[in-house]
């Protein structure tokens, strides 16, 4: 009996000794590392890709701090895990459910989820299988919930966050979230931040055939529940309230589309002892959540 | 049927008098209301396309301005000919304003068939909610960190007088009557502070009406859908026009949760109108996959014990109460937001089932005209010359049993 | 554009004092960004340092505690420019997007000479800055920050803090703790009651020149993004378990088990029972290590165990340059070999004259030549294996201190260690001569408050003299600092539950002099 065990043990030892490249940044890591020592992406992504012999595609949800990336992604995952519009998402690995779980738990308590920390090791990653009714084969996707602060820091000072750069280089498409309620108030910051993001993407990969110019970009006007007009015609809303972004997209990105999305029906600012002013959602009624993702997948020919 | 000018004046005067009496206005405001209504009808009727003129008219004729006209009451109506009165009553029936005819002051002028018809309409369209106590969560932020405290602070027992509640939310068809009757142009039925904003209550084409209508008409095929895209003020104005009012929170919760006293101080209340557990077949919430509002006649299984439909799901419903955001120490005005009005019941896009219970309250700005907020009206039995117990005729036996237990 | 303050600070004297730059890292909406970023910085913070500050800056949920009352962290690390960042992180103000309280970090960028004045002790510098009112948190983040000068200095060694650490942890725990700190893996301490005092104590156990190399945070969670070498964690979390499962950190539980009282007098054996846990074997927190500490940690443990703190303190005070965390272990091993001889010589005389520490044989004989030779070899990269074998017979020649060098040692009272902090020495000065005089005043006040009668008499003479020569305005700030220091003493007494009427009376006497009541 012991003889038959020996080769297996040796094999396993050899496996443990081998270095595994991180799926995001490509740096070598030890077999049992949970996070990449270089970019702090979960090594489970690499292990899953290796064991399943597939190369998951990557989709980014990016935007400035506080635009609602965590809420959007959490809601999207929860809705699609219940199957909607012929689409269904199945999480791969327990870590892939954490984002959905934390976002939904907070919304059920009528709170928004906590701000995503800047530290990449604290981010939630999602590796999932997406099936669409018109496609025979399910697709594999990787989506992280990255901190808006970190994204802006990387955009302003490239190479500050290696994980962001490496991930965006490999993304097949992206969703850029823009706070519609702030645009409605006349705040130009959202316009500028999204233009910065688009410029960053353009420079990241300007290959004439495969560069970001040709990759699909869904521009999601988030928090549209606070400015209902946005739902009527997102394209026109963007033209009026984010003219810089609108022009930039038309000039630089061939494959883009504007969408409006909202999760909270209404919000209220409350003062909570020990926590200060807190914005709380009064009810959850998702609107326009699945459409941008569906469009993106179709454009990516997933 | 088109009425002659004199009849229309009489009708207006009668309706206005009743309205003012019903809302509990003082004699002075009653007089003012009448005069403004008459003036609005004859001379300064709010004409939508001529906004500047309307604005001037509103400015020059404040709703409480003393009227130079002599007081006109229902007594004067008695001087109308029987034919004129019959026409007036018919018009009110067709507009669904039967509740005005059942007022103690008016009911004596009705013929027996008219009274019978009014009673039938009341029984068909409204359900009786008996007198009794109801437990009410005062704030929905009781579980919010930092808001913990004494249960008594967040929970109250409220006594509710018996009332009639619309069996269904107000439909597009019903609201059309209000729009057609020039409801948006009758300043007397609007809250005085909101008059300048009334001009902005327009549909997609700029005509007065709910937000999602076009050319003053509801979308084709949606006659029986609940009216949405109306602000709290529009809902209130409609309720006044039709002779009813919006429900208080206690009344709404009582109608939905149907409390039954099980001891001296305890009650058994339902989490949902049909029982304690969510049943996706009984309410149009997100999980029902309808994707939008449906006819008020759908989801009949979700009826309450008292016979009220769609209290949960389809559309949120405005109530009278102000939303309590339960902020610690800081008054709402310091939180850079105005007072919100309560909405209850959840809607077709309500994602979480715990946000569509009888007790759950959400808030919305009273000027908000959302795609998923509608309303229904109520009427106190004390305002009607009707024997409440008679209204139980034809009601489910269960309701009668509950009535006996509780009252 | 330079502000007026900045210019005046530069032109205040011929030899411009080194300025301390400032920066604030928190969540706010500024002209160029929203969320957590460097929202303000003084003009002297260069771009490279600014980027590093952003990388190390703690964002939402980075503090170990979520309660406003207890959430705080003192952080220290070196910047690319060679300057040090000494920062304080708090929960203060509201997050701009309505997501509760924000994490607010005020960074002081300090040049090595300035930090050296404070004995390379970030806590002393931070205390001084706080006393000057420079670390006040405002709801609205200031749009412009100005550099400032911070006069003063700190004692090289705070025996009080060392004493506290010894009392709380025991000799062996301290030895292993320092041993772990000198290894490359980050160290996370759990079971710490007073994080700041503990880290300050650990810092005091390192030679001056090596202190700047130890990056630490007293209340931040571990993150690979912020590679602090020493951290304090409130509890053994799942995150920590994961980290030491991967052998990424060393976790040490310094809390004594219930019912076991740590004692400074017990040696390595007893200390093992008070809970050094899982330092050598990451992944198994809470398991005592059987091996005794080696290197510098072993030397510290031995010093504490053999009542040779005076020798240790003197060693720590020595301002020898060139000692680094990497070569401390070798020095420690060398000193350990000399320790038995030292203590053997010290014991009989200590027994003969216990009342007067200044006459203690512990400080009798020095072996400075041997020590210096070793150090020279060490710095030249020679292996320490060449060092002389220890010999009890060499006692007379291996002692470090000579009879006359006992000024510092007289303050060592092992049995009754007083918690002392240098009084805040922040006085705007115009010349180094004035600074020296004020520093002398500080020393006198310091000693007087510690109960030294002679110092009190000296102060009685010195204070009016300085008032006359420097003018009351220049002493106003000193007066305020002394008052605050007295209050600090009072608070520390209350905190420790010890009533020390002697210290209270001494403080009152000092206060009555400086406030002219006498």
Q: What Cα–Cα distance (Å) separates residue B293 from each residue in A224, B93, B223, C266, C327?
A: 20, 27, 12, 78, 76
Cβ atoms within 10 Å, residue A21: 14
Question: Is B371 within 8 Å of A228 when comparing Cβ atoms?
Answer: yes
Mean pLDDT of all residues in chain C? 71
Rounded CA separation A280/C98 (Å): 9
Name B59's Cβ contacts closer than 8 Å, sequence gap at least 6: none
- Closest partner CB to A160 (pick from C51, C101, C224): C51
Q: Which residues are registered as beta bridge partners of C187?
A: C230, C250
Mean pLDDT of all residues in chain A? 88
The radius of gyration computed from the CA coordinates of chain C, to the nearest angstrom, equals 23
Tell me how close the Cα of C61 comes to any Cα of chain A, in angstroms. Answer: 7
Q: What is the reported pLDDT for C172? A: 84
Q: What is the reported pLDDT for B364? A: 93
Q: What is the reported pLDDT for B79? A: 59
Q: What is the pLDDT along chain A (302 residues), one digit of tens a residue?
A: 444 555 555 555 566 667 899 999 999 988 888 889 889 899 989 988 888 777 899 999 999 999 999 999 999 999 999 888 888 999 988 889 999 999 999 999 889 999 999 999 889 999 999 988 777 778 899 999 999 999 999 999 898 899 999 999 999 999 999 999 999 998 888 899 999 999 999 998 878 888 898 999 999 999 998 888 899 899 999 999 999 999 999 998 989 999 999 999 888 888 777 777 888 899 999 999 999 999 999 998 87
Q: Is A271 on the interface with B (CB under 8 A)?
A: yes
**What average pLDDT does range C18-26 have in this prediction?**
91
Q: What Cα–Cα distance (Å) separates residue B58 from each residue in B63, B240, C2?
A: 8, 20, 59
Q: Is A210 on the interface with B (CB under 8 A)?
A: no
Rounded CA separation A246/A242 (Å): 6
Q: What is the reported pLDDT for B234? A: 97
The DSSP result for C119-146, as a single string, is TT-HHHHHHHHHHTTTT---SSPPS---
Give contacts of B325 with chain A, Cβ < 8 Å.
268-270, 280
Rounded CA separation C346/C353 (Å): 11
Name C485's Cβ contacts closer than 8 Å, sequence gap at least 6: C421, C423, C424, C445, C449
- Name the residue among C471, C466, C425, C456 with its Cα closest to residue C518: C456
- Closest partner CB to B330 (pick from A271, A274, A285): A271
End-to-end CA distance of chain C: 49
Question: Is B143 within 8 Å of A268 when comparing Cβ atoms?
Answer: no
Which tens digit of pLDDT belongs to each residue from C336-359? 887 777 666 655 544 443 333 333
Q: Is C93 on the interface with A (CB under 8 A)?
A: yes
Question: Is C93 within 8 Å of A276 when comparing Cβ atoms?
Answer: yes
End-to-end CA distance of chain A: 48
Which of B259-263, B356-360, C512-516 shows the lowest mean pLDDT across its residues?
A: C512-516
Q: Which of A285, A287, A288, A290 to mutate to test the interface with B (most CBs of B within 10 A)?
A: A285
Q: What is the distance, to the nearest Å, from the Cα of residue A153 to the centroid of all Cα atoms in its chain? A: 17
More confident residue, A243 or C98: A243
H/E segment holding residue C373? helix C368-379
- Closest partner CB to C35 (pick from A121, A122, A152): A152
**What average pLDDT does range B133-140 have in this prediction?**
76
Q: Which of A65, A71, A154 to mutate to test the interface with C (most CBs of C within 10 A)?
A: A65
Q: Which of C224, C238, C242, C243 to mutate to test the interface with A (most CBs of A within 10 A)?
A: C224
Instruction: Tell me how many residue pairs between chain A and chain C have CB atoms under 8 A apart.
Output: 103
Q: At C4, is the pLDDT very low, low, confident or very high (cuts 50, 70, 90)?
A: very low
Question: Is B350 within 8 Å of A284 when comparing Cβ atoms?
Answer: yes
Q: What is the distance, to the nearest Å, from the Cα of residue A67 to the centroid of all Cα atoms in its chain? A: 12
Q: What Cα–Cα distance (Å) separates residue B222 from each residue in B172, B219, B237, B317, C440?
A: 7, 6, 22, 18, 91
Give contacts of C94 with chain A, Cβ < 8 Å.
276-277
Q: At C384, is the pLDDT very low, low, confident or very high (cuts 50, 70, 90)?
A: very low
Q: Left, alpha or beta for B299 (phi > 0: left; psi -120 to 50: alpha)?
A: left
Q: What is the reported pLDDT for C344? A: 61
Helix C501-514 to helix C453-470 angle (10° resolution) is 20
Q: What is the DSSP letter of A121?
A: G
Q: What is the reported pLDDT for A172? A: 93
Question: Is A268 within 8 Å of B325 when comparing Cβ atoms?
Answer: yes
Q: Is A286 on the interface with B (CB under 8 A)?
A: yes
Q: At B278, is the pLDDT very low, low, confident or very high (cuts 50, 70, 90)?
A: very high
Cβ atoms within 10 Å, residue B272: 22
In the predicted model, is pLDDT for residue B145 greater than 80? no
- Name the residue among C128, C147, C17, C133 with its Cα closest to residue C435: C17
In the predicted model, is pLDDT for residue C498 greater than 90? no
| Phi and psi at residue C317, to the nearest 5° | -70, -25
**What average pLDDT does range B128-154 have in this prediction?**
62
Q: What is the DSSP letter of C281?
A: S
Q: What is the reported pLDDT for B21? A: 47
Give contacts of B368 with chain A, Cβ < 8 Å.
266
Rounded CA separation A143/A76 (Å): 11
Question: Is C225 within 8 Å of A276 when comparing Cβ atoms?
Answer: no
Tell me how close the Cα of C109 comes to any Cα of chain A, in angstroms. Answer: 21
Q: What is the reported pLDDT for A144? A: 95
Q: What is the reported pLDDT for C364? A: 30
Rounded CA separation B367/B362 (Å): 15
SS3 A33: coil
Which of A246-250, B32-36, C183-187 shows the lowest mean pLDDT across its residues?
A: B32-36
Which tens digit of pLDDT belongs to each residue from C446-490? 778 877 888 888 888 888 888 888 777 777 777 777 787 777 677
**What average pLDDT does range C119-131 have in this prediction?**
88
The ipTM is 0.87
Is the CA virtual torsion C158, C164, C169, C171 positive or negative? Answer: positive
Percent of chain C's residues with pLDDT above 70: 66
Question: Is C100 within 8 Å of A148 when comparing Cβ atoms?
Answer: no
The DSSP result for B71-126, as a single string, is P--HHHHTTS-HHHHHHHHHHHHHTT-HHHHTSHHHHTTS-HHHHHHHHHHHHHHE
Rounded CA separation C404/C345 (Å): 17
Rounded CA separation C448/C426 (Å): 19
Percent of chain C's residues with pLDDT above 90: 17
More confident residue, A59 or B153: A59
H/E segment holding residue A110? none
Rounded CA separation C422/C411 (Å): 14
Q: What is the reported pLDDT for C422? A: 37
Tell me how close the Cα of C135 comes to any Cα of chain A, in angstroms. Answer: 21
Q: Is A279 on the interface with C (CB under 8 A)?
A: yes
Give contacts of B363 with chain A, Cβ < 8 Å.
266, 268, 282
Which tens digit of pLDDT belongs to each residue from B211-270? 999 999 999 999 999 999 999 999 999 999 999 999 999 999 999 999 988 877 778 899
Task: Work out the angle at residue C235's Cα, subtended by the Cα atoms of residues C232 and C241, and round it to the nearest 5 degrees.
Answer: 95
Rounded CA separation C455/C442 (Å): 11
Q: What Cα–Cα distance (Å) separates residue C4 from each residue in C9, C11, C211, C323, C430?
A: 8, 11, 35, 41, 18
Residue of A nearest to B345 (CA): A283
Q: At C416, is the pLDDT very low, low, confident or very high (cuts 50, 70, 90)?
A: very low
**What average pLDDT does range C152-168 have in this prediction?**
83
Rounded CA separation A71/A111 (Å): 11
Q: What is the reported pLDDT for C494? A: 62
H/E segment holding residue C57? none
- Name the residue among C224, C90, C211 with its Cα closest to residue C161: C211
Q: Which residues are registered as beta bridge partners of A59?
A: A173
Q: What is the reported pLDDT for C239? A: 67
Greatest Cα-to-Cα distance within chain A, rounded to the nearest angstrom? 76
Q: What is the reported pLDDT for B326? A: 58
- Name the residue among B254, B256, B250, B248 with its Cα closest to residue B378: B248
Which tens digit of pLDDT belongs to each residue from C233-244? 877 666 677 666
Which of A46-60, A74-88, C177-191, C502-516 shows the lowest mean pLDDT across its residues?
A: C502-516
Q: Is C223 on the interface with A (CB under 8 A)?
A: yes
Cβ atoms within 10 Å, residue C272: 21
Which of A261-265, B17-21, B102-106 shows the lowest mean pLDDT across its residues?
A: B17-21
Q: Which of B204, B346, B362 to mutate to test the interface with A (most CBs of A within 10 A)?
A: B362
In the predicted model, is pLDDT for residue C161 greater than 50? yes
Q: Is A233 on the interface with C (CB under 8 A)?
A: no
Rounded CA separation C125/C103 (Å): 22
Q: Is A131 on the interface with C (CB under 8 A)?
A: no
Q: What is the reported pLDDT for C170? A: 83
Q: Is C207 on the interface with A (CB under 8 A)?
A: no
With beta carbons less than 8 A apart as the criterion, state whether C198 and C191 touch.
no
Percent of chain B's residues with pLDDT above 90: 55
Question: Is C34 within 8 Å of A65 when comparing Cβ atoms?
Answer: yes
Question: Is A270 within 8 Å of B352 when comparing Cβ atoms?
Answer: no
Question: Is A266 within 8 Å of B340 when comparing Cβ atoms?
Answer: yes
Q: Which residues are registered as beta bridge partners of B160?
A: B132
Q: pTM value?
A: 0.73
């Amino acid at each position: 009996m012991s003889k038959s065990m020996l080769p297996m043990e040796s094999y396993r030892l050899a496996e443990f000794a081998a270095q595994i490249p991180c799926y995001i940044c490509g740096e070598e890591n030890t077999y049992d590392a949970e996070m990449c020592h270089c970019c702090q992406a979960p090594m489970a992504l690499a292990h899953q890709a290796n064991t399943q012999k597939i190369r998951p595609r990557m989709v980014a949800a990016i935007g400035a701090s506080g635009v609602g990336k965590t809420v959007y992604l959490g809601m999207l995952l929860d809705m699609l895990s219940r199957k909607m519009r012929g689409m269904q998402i199945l999480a791969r690995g327990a870590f892939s459910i954490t984002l959905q779980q934390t976002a939904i738990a907070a919304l059920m308590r009528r709170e928004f989820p906590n701000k995503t920390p800047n530290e990449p090791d604290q981010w939630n990653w999602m590796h999932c299988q997406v099936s669409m009714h018109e496609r025979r084969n399910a697709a594999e996707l990787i989506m992280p919930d990255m901190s808006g602060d970190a994204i802006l820091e990387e955009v302003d000072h490239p190479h500050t966050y290696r994980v962001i750069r490496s991930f965006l280089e490999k993304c097949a498409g992206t969703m850029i979230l823009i706070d519609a309620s702030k645009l409605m108030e006349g705040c130009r910051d959202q316009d500028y931040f999204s233009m910065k993001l688009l410029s960053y993407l353009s420079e990241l990969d300007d290959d004439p055939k495969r560069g970001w110019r040709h990759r699909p970009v869904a521009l999601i006007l988030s928090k549209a529940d606070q400015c209902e007009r946005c739902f009527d015609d997102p394209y026109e809303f963007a033209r009026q309230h984010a003219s810089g972004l609108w022009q930039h997209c038309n000039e630089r990105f061939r494959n883009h589309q504007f969408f409006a999305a909202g999760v909270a029906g209404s919000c209220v600012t409350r003062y909570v002892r020990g926590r200060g002013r807190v914005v709380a959602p009064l009810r959850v009624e998702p609107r326009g959540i699945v459409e941008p993702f569906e469009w993106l997948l179709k454009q990516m020919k997933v | 049927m088109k009425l002659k000018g004199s009849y229309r004046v009489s009708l207006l005067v009668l309706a206005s008098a009743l309205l003012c009496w019903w809302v509990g206005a003082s004699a002075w405001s009653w007089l003012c209301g009448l005069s403004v209504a008459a003036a609005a009808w004859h001379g300064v009727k709010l004409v939508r396309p001529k906004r500047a003129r309307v604005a001037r008219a509103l400015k020059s004729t404040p709703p409480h301005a003393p009227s130079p006209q002599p007081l006109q009451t229902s007594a004067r109506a008695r001087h109308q000919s029987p034919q004129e009165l019959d026409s007036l009553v018919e018009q009110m029936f067709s507009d669904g304003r039967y509740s005005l005819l059942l007022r103690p002051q008016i009911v004596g002028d009705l013929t027996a068939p008219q009274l019978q018809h009014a009673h039938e309409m009341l029984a068909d369209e409204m359900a009786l909610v008996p007198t009794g106590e109801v437990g009410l969560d005062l704030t929905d932020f009781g579980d919010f960190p930092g808001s913990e405290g004494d249960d008594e602070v967040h929970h109250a027992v409220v006594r509710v007088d018996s009332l009639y509640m619309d069996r269904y939310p107000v439909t597009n068809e019903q609201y059309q009557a209000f729009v057609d009757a020039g409801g948006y142009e009758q300043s007397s039925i609007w809250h005085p502070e909101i008059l300048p904003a009334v001009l902005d209550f327009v549909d997609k084409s700029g005509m007065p009406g709910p937000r999602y209508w076009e050319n003053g008409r509801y979308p084709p095929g949606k006659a029986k859908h609940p009216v949405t895209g109306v602000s709290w003020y529009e809902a209130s104005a409609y309720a006044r026009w039709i002779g009813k009012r919006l429900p208080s929170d206690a009344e709404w919760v009582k109608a939905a949760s149907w409390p039954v006293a099980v001891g001296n101080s305890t009650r058994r209340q339902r989490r949902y109108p049909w029982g304690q557990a969510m049943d996706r077949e009984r309410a149009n919430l997100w999980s029902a996959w309808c994707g939008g509002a449906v006819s008020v006649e759908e989801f009949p299984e979700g009826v309450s014990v008292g016979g009220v439909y769609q209290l949960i799901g389809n559309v949120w419903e405005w109530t009278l109460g102000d939303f309590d955001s339960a902020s610690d120490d800081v008054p709402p005005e310091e939180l850079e937001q105005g007072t919100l009005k309560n909405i209850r019941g959840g809607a077709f896009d309500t994602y979480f089932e715990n946000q569509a219970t009888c007790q759950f309250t959400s808030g919305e700005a009273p000027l908000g005209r959302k795609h998923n907020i509608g309303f229904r009206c109520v009427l106190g039995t004390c305002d009607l010359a009707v024997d409440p117990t008679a209204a139980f005729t034809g009601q489910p036996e269960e309701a009668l049993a509950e009535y006996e237990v509780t009252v | 554009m330079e502000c007026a303050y900045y210019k005046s600070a530069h032109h205040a004297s011929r030899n411009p004092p080194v300025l301390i730059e400032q920066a604030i890292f928190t969540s706010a909406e500024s002209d160029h960004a929203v969320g957590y970023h460097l929202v303000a910085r003084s003009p002297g913070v260069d771009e490279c340092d600014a980027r590093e500050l952003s990388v190390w800056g703690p964002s939402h949920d980075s503090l170990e505690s979520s309660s406003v009352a207890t959430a705080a962290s003192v952080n220290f690390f070196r910047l690319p420019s060679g300057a040090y960042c000494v920062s304080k992180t708090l929960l203060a103000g509201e997050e701009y997007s309505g997501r509760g309280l924000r994490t607010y970090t005020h960074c002081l960028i300090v040049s090595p000479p300035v930090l050296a004045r404070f004995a390379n002790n970030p806590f002393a510098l931070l205390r001084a800055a706080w006393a000057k009112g420079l670390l006040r948190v405002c709801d609205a983040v200031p749009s412009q920050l100005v550099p400032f000068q911070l006069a003063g200095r700190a004692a090289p060694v705070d025996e009080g803090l060392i004493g506290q650490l010894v009392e709380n942890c025991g000799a062996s725990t301290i030895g292993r703790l320092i041993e772990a700190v000198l290894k490359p893996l980050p160290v996370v301490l759990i079971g710490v009651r007073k994080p700041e005092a503990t880290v300050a104590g650990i810092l005091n156990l390192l030679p001056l020149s090596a202190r700047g190399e130890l990056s630490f945070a007293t209340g931040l969670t571990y993150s690979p993004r912020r590679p602090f070498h020493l951290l304090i964690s409130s509890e053994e979390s799942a995150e920590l378990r994961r980290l030491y499962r991967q052998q990424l950190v060393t976790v040490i539980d310094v809390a004594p088990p219930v019912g076991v009282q740590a004692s400074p007098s017990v040696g390595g054996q007893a200390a093992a029972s008070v809970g050094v846990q899982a330092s050598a074997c990451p992944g198994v927190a809470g398991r005592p290590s059987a091996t005794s500490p080696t290197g510098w940690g072993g030397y510290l443990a031995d010093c504490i165990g053999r009542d040779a703190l005076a020798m240790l303190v003197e060693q720590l005070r020595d301002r020898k340059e060139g000692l680094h965390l990497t070569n401390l272990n070798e020095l420690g091993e060398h000193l350990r070999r000399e320790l038995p001889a030292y203590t053997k010589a010290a014991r009989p005389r200590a027994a003969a004259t216990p009342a007067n520490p200044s006459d203690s044989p512990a400080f009798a004989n020095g072996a400075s030549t041997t020590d210096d030779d070793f150090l020279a070899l060490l710095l030249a990269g020679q292996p320490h294996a060449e060092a002389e074998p220890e010999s009890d017979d060499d006692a007379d020649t291996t002692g470090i201190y000579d009879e006359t060098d006992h000024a510092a040692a007289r303050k060592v009272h092992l049995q009754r260690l007083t918690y002392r902090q240098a009084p805040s020495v922040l006085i705007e000065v115009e010349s180094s001569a004035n600074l020296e005089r004020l520093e002398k005043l500080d020393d006198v006040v310091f000693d007087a408050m510690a109960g030294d009668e002679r110092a009190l008499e000296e102060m009685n003479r010195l204070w009016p003299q300085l008032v006359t020569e420097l003018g009351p305005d220049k002493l106003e700030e000193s007066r305020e600092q002394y008052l605050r220091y007295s209050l600090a003493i009072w608070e520390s007494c209350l905190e420790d539950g010890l009533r020390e009427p002697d210290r209270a009376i001494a403080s009152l006497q000092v206060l009555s002099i400086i406030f002219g009541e006498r």
